[in-house]
Structure 1
Amino acid sequence: MLIGMNTTTGSPKHLQGFEDTVKDFWVSRPRRPRHGRKVAGVAAGVGNRYGIDPAVVRVAFVVLTVFGGIGVALYLVGMLIFADGDDEASAIESLLGRGRSSMSKPAALALCLVLLPLSLWSFSDHSWIDGGTFVGLALVVTGLYLLHRSRGQHRRPVPTGVRSGSNTTTATMTGGGTGAWGAPVAQAPSTWDALGADPLGWRLPEADAPAPTTRPEPPAPPRRKSRIGFAVVGVALAVGGVGAALAAEGVPWFTPAHVVGLMLAVLGLGMVVGSFLGGGRGLVWLALPLALAGLVFGAVPSEHFRGGFGDLVATPTSADQVLPTYERTAGSIRLDLTALSGDDQVRTTVRSGAGPVTVLVPPDADVWYSCETGVGTMECLGQAHNGVNTPNLRGHDYGLDGEGGPKISLTAKAGAGPVEVLRG
């Protein structure tokens, strides 16, 4: 079977350099197994090929997707270049007419069409750090290179291009001559017998020859407990603590999404090191919730996570008392501006990460407003919307008396919660 691992055929003892390593990786690249896969078997194939836990590979794909945006594109590349089970060729090779694959050519072509815009999006300017996608790609290339240099000689699958049930290796097939019609002819291996007779069958065993005995294999040494996991968790928590402190001080780059990204980077590096030295498998259970938190923090603007917790009620009595910003990370905000009068002019922003936002304005005020919420309802001076990621409400309202009175420029935001702008 092609899915069987071969530890001798074509397995080099020493790889001379980068070029030899890349060529040998392509020849002995992983296969996507039929069993043990979660999606398409890319992570399971890489794990089986190099003897590491496939869960570590899956978490690496998640981290690369959240941190740099390239994880999904790399997974599609794996689906295209890794042959499936006992297929004769990979999907991309089948698309080029170099063998058969269980993935149809239209499906392979569709994957290529999806991969192009997805790759362009991955390298666009949306990463949490400048050049984060390039950093993630460099880590993947470096990790695969080191894995193949250290473990590439083991668990080698039968190369693509070899049919199921054939005992002729790729090295033998490529060493053939040319037939009468110009087609390549496979040379028979040196141990092949045209008569089909076993050479050892002509030798009679000696009567007094002792029966061969097999020595039992020694038991595997007990696996040492690794402290890599504890060390990596400690470093990740320290990085998260320092990042949170800098975020609380108002350092612009250190948003919640960036802090989570740094922690995921530490955990990912720890899992790569643990795959070589043994240990670190438990880091998966910390990386998964952090990855989900990163998705949430990345979806909600960082400005919604400043200002502390709890309810905020403000009732300024003059324009000088109106603050430029009223904000809460979680909690309700109620701003009463009904005490403004005459020619007062104010500009303010009210935002909450999670909680209701209510602003009361004088009946005669001229109000220019902008209201938005991620999840919830909005009711702003006669306009209303509700749902998820609804369009912003913008406009101006002069009140029942027409133009004249206090002039208020207002922005009201909520990450999750209702937003109301009402006349008092």
Structure 2
Amino acid sequence: MTYEEALKKIESLLRFGSKPGLDRVQKLLSLLGNPQDKLKFIHVAGTNGKGSTCALVASVLKKSQYKTGLFISPFVTDFCERMQINGEMIGHEELSALVEKIFPLVEQMAANGEIITEFELITALAMEWFAQEQCDVVVLEVGLGGRLDATNVISTPLVSVITSISLDHTAILGDTLAKIAYEKCGIIKDNGVTVCYPGQNPEALAVIRSTAEERKNRLVIADTDSVEVLSMNISGTGLEYRGLLVSLPFIGEHQIKNAVTALAVIEELKKMGYHIADHSIEAGFSSASFPARMEVLSADPLIVLDGAHNPDGTAALAGAVKKYLGNKKIIAIAGMLADKDVSGAVGNFTGLFSRVFTLAPNSPRALDAKALAEKFQSIGANAEPTENADAALAKALSLLNADSALLICGSLYLAGDIRPRVLELLHTK
């Protein structure tokens, strides 16, 4: 089976959509011999900050010489980003071999009326690969919610992590923070340890506390007082943590909280006997990478890419833009999905952009470019719809100079499509 054929097999399950529930994925994994039972996990749920927290923890474990799996979603540029070991994504041939092995089981289940979804298959592929490769630890990011997410087939993890909770996917997870927190807290298993993001909304925190207590978990609330911010600029953040000088390559106030959450997880692992030296924390943080999160694609001209797609995410992004790019005229390329809180997300950009070029991301859920332009116009922005990424880039780059910056934002789907184009354009200059 070729890589292209493997991807087609995976994507063929897209039409079955998202169907909450663990029975199907548990059945599929049992047919594989339950590879998840051979692994140890750090399980991470939340609305925002999951990816950054996962990237930091995985990077520190790698630098500590542990064979570290990382499961994330969605990917930005290459599907294989979704499953990595020690920072290297699964090879195309390896993925193809796994699909060839597992897809007949999916078809066998389908014949019995048990329809596996795309995300369930991807989860099973990752579990099988991590087990085959005998990972010491797997940092496992939840796909959606937590309680009924396919990743929740695991038993009690080393640490359950709840990052920042806000309103998102309300049609599926509920329309209050308490309801959403309930779903996220589904990853908290009996007799474990739970690490919680600092400054969590009180409504969400109350649910986290009660769930941890009910399931006999020791709850650790990450403490921002454990770090001192030494420097913050467009290139990253310098922190002091218990005498260590830590360089965080991510920027924004919210990333400091994600870093503190990751550090709290590391401390819990050390208590369990994991050997994580100070130099591994320093090296792990400085080498962590996470595309499309206030990522500087170019310093001259200044081009920044960010995948924030809900109101909390765009609020953090807007704050970072004001802080680090306040002296620049901001030109934006924006694309969003129609099933997000577009008005809430766009509203955070009021007064921020001198020009906005909108387009529809490469997704069946994309919001039309004209409709998004109208959303920006409603907040007083000079917004113009464009046909595609190439057209938007051409228009935006023609306006870019030493006094301005280009911000590409609104969706990880947009980021995945446009990131390689920008890098190629810069490389050919």
Higher radius of gyration, 1 or 2 = 1
TM-score (norm 2): 0.26
Q: Which has the higher helix share?
A: 2
